[in-house]
Structure 1
Amino acid sequence: MTVSAPSSPSPAAPTATPASAEPRFRGLWIALVTPFLGDGSVDHIALAALTARMRSAGVSGLVACGSTGEAAALSKAEQLQVLDTVLQAAHGLPVVMGMSGYHLGQTVEQVQALAAYPPLAGVLVPAPHYIRPSQEGLLHWFNAMADASPAPVIVYDIPYRTGAVLATDTLLSLARHPRIVAIKDCGGDMAKTQALIADGRLAVLTGEDAQIFSTVALGGAGAIAASAHWQTERFVELVRLLEAGHLPQARTLWQGLLPWVQACFAEPNPAPLKAVLAHAGWMRNVLRAPMMPASQALAERLRGLMAAGELGERSA
């Protein structure tokens, strides 16, 4: 497939103000795990039930086939089947589809194929892994994806997975594209985060769960979180308190959640989460190699935190 050069947005387009960041990408979004059966195939029944639980907990939206969903271990057909299940179980709750690759033409085709599905809230696109292109190459990559996408694009800035660092100026240039509307921020650069929030054209959603409090308190739009699969209502309330400016209450809630967040990432994600959700009876504790289940020590630590959280919810 030949990919044409990405179009450039009109220079006459008005400059956005900080208040104009895409309103649909706000609040707490869940980066869904992908449940598996004992034989390693996708457990669509458990996935539908998980989607329904997250919907009833009041989250703003869901992300299917992100890194938490072990998308790299799923075939392209499996990824689309996961999307089908999540869309059906979401019952209108916004759904974002994760997309990744390093072959420009093939990845563009994957993005274009999403036009055959019910309307998506967005497409989550990281930089091409392994390639490590220049900033000019990154501009070309994301503009090509946005030109092809039937849905708004969320830039996934996660250099520790892709090997590519998106500079602040590059992200500000991408914000000029009418379909690039948000960023999942895992860049680890708070100065860049604050610059994007101040610019206001991209909705800044932290993808680092430990930075939920700081990002939203600074004016970010919200979070795409993994650890919020459990105690989901508390995470939803945390973001609501921060958005309303109720910092003392939010700080107290966050201090109770932080040990949980830290434990969920003590070993490679999503192994700790799957141990938690398996203990709750929501799915099997099965991952696809080379991902391995959480260690017994961490699983016991997580079970202790689960019990403490449940007690806290009952006494609240």
Structure 2
Amino acid sequence: MPQSSSLSASPDFSGLWIPLVTPFRGGAIDHAALSALTRRLAGDGVAGFVVCGSTGEAAALDETEQLAALETVQAAAEGLPIVMGLSGYHLGKTTAWVRQLAEHRLAGLLVPAPHYIRPSQAGLLEWFRAIADASPVPVLIYDIPYRTGATLARETLLALAEHPRIRGVKDCGGDMAKTRALIADGRLQVLSGEDHQIFATVAEGGAGAIAASGHVQTRRFVQVLRLLAENRLAQARAEWQPLRPLIELLFAEPNPGPVKALLAHGGSMSGELRSPMTRATDALRDRLVALDAGLSRR
């Protein structure tokens, strides 16, 4: 997969991408834990990483911390491609940040609609086109209306597909008809961003997933996507069905609290989050630990 800013080769965002959590210890980023997590996941067959997505608590990180997290992941990723998340609602500041990120080696940017202000569809077209114009690397649209308050219409996404740097969608839109239309159109790679919809999206022709659940049972998630890519539906379903209860529990409380709790139980990091995010409850953690252990014995 490409690591340079060149658009001469078509980028490939297929497979399982992990939107990395940001480990904390004593209020600061735990770079040792982040590095170890990245190395472990790289060895488990993931396609690449997303740094500073919503799972990474990016809203609670300042720009210096975000760049430091990116550098740690780049050093540990063993050459795998890295997408950087960004968000905001001030277009000038956002495009300036895009230009600053251009100094770093990235496979792409993951860009949601501007939050809070709820622009029209015409305003959304302006937002994404301006960011894509400013970016030297491919852009993935992060369609997640329940976080931004802005719904991207099917026609808007299809219009954005005309831009040469807009190459894919992280699909959390909750509209399977829109998902199917994007897959059928074929210009944008569609990656499931709702973990419980991974199987359905990829079975219908989606490219892959950006899945927080993939921090755990990673090789099983990778195998599901590999089997689907090979059209081995029955075998993929057999691998997928045991994961469904785990996914449900990992999102029973606000992400990334549950996945951090499970990773912390395994000793790879603290379960610490930045306020106002809170740790998973002990009851949920215990259920996750028992379910994960059962899956590991299968």
Residue 289 (str. 1) matches residue 289 (str. 2): no
Distance 1:180 1:144 in 2: 11
* CA apart distance, 1:92: 1.1
Q: Counterpart in 2 of 1:208?
A: 194
2:3 corresponds in structure 1 to: none
Q: What residue number does 2:119 align with?
A: 133
2:68: which partner in 1?
Answer: 81
The alignment partner of 1:77 has SS state of helix
- The alpha carbon displacement at 1:296 in A equals 1.1
1:7 counterpart residue number: none
- Structure-1 residue corresponding to 2:24: 36
1:108 aligns to what? 95
Larger Rg: 1
Q: Is the CA contact (8 Å cut-off) linking 1:23 and 1:203 kept in structure 2?
A: no
Looking at structure 1, the residues matched to 282 and 33 of structure 2 have their Cα atoms a distance apart, in angstroms, of 23
Once residues 87 and 201 of structure 1 are traced to their aligned partners in structure 2, the CA distance between those partners, rounded to angstroms, is 29
What's the CA shift string for 1:152-179, capped at 9, x where partnerless?
Answer: 0000000000000000000000000000
Partners of 2:39 and 2:171 in 1: how far apart?
26
Q: Is 1:239–2:198 an aligned residue pair?
A: no
- Measured in 1, the distance between the counterparts of 2:18 and 2:111 equals 16
Matched, 1:25 2:6: no
Structure 1: tracts of 5 or more residues without a match: 1-21
Q: Deviations over 1:272-295 (max 9, x none)?
A: 000000000000010000000001
- Aligned residue for 1:281, secondary structure, equals coil
Aligned partners of 1:214 and 1:195: how far apart in 2?
A: 14
Please provide the CA RMSD for this pair. Answer: 0.7
Q: Is 1:96 paired with 2:83?
A: yes
Q: How many residues align?
A: 289
User: Is residue 241 of structure 2 the alignment partner of residue 258 of structure 1?
Assistant: no
Distance 2:51 2:67 in 1: 10
Could you tell me how far apart the structure 2 residues matched to 1:40 and 1:286 are? 8
Alignment pair present for 1:50 and 2:31: no
Q: Which residue of 1 aligns with 2:58?
A: 71
Which of 39, 59, 64 does residue 46 from structure 2 map onto?
Answer: 59
Whole-Å separation in 1 of the counterparts to 2:73 and 2:131: 23
| Alignment partner, residue 176 of structure 2 | 190
Please give the per-residue CA displacement for 1:83-124, whole angstroms capped at 9, x wherever unaligned: 111111112100000000010000000111011112x11000
TM-score (norm 2): 0.96
Alignment counterpart, residue 122 of structure 1, candidates 108, 112, 120 = 108
1:9: which partner in 2?
Answer: none
Identify the residue that residue 226 of structure 1 maps to in structure 2: 212
Q: Which secondary structure state, in structure 1, belongs to the residue aligned with residue 150 of structure 2? A: coil
- Report deviation, 1:188: 0.2
The CA deviation at 1:194 is 0.1
Q: TM-score, normalising length from structure 1?
A: 0.91
Partner of 2:5: none
Alignment correspondent of 2:6: none
Task: Describe the SS at the equivalent of 1:211.
Answer: helix
The one-letter amino acid of 1:153's match is V
Displacement over 6 Å in runs of 4+: none
Q: SS of the residue aligned with 1:116? A: coil
Q: Measure how far apart 1:23 and its partner are.
A: 5.2
Percentage of pairs with the same residue: 64
1:205-264 per-residue CA deviation (whole Å, 9 max, x = no partner) reads: 010000000000000000000001011000000000111111111111111110111110
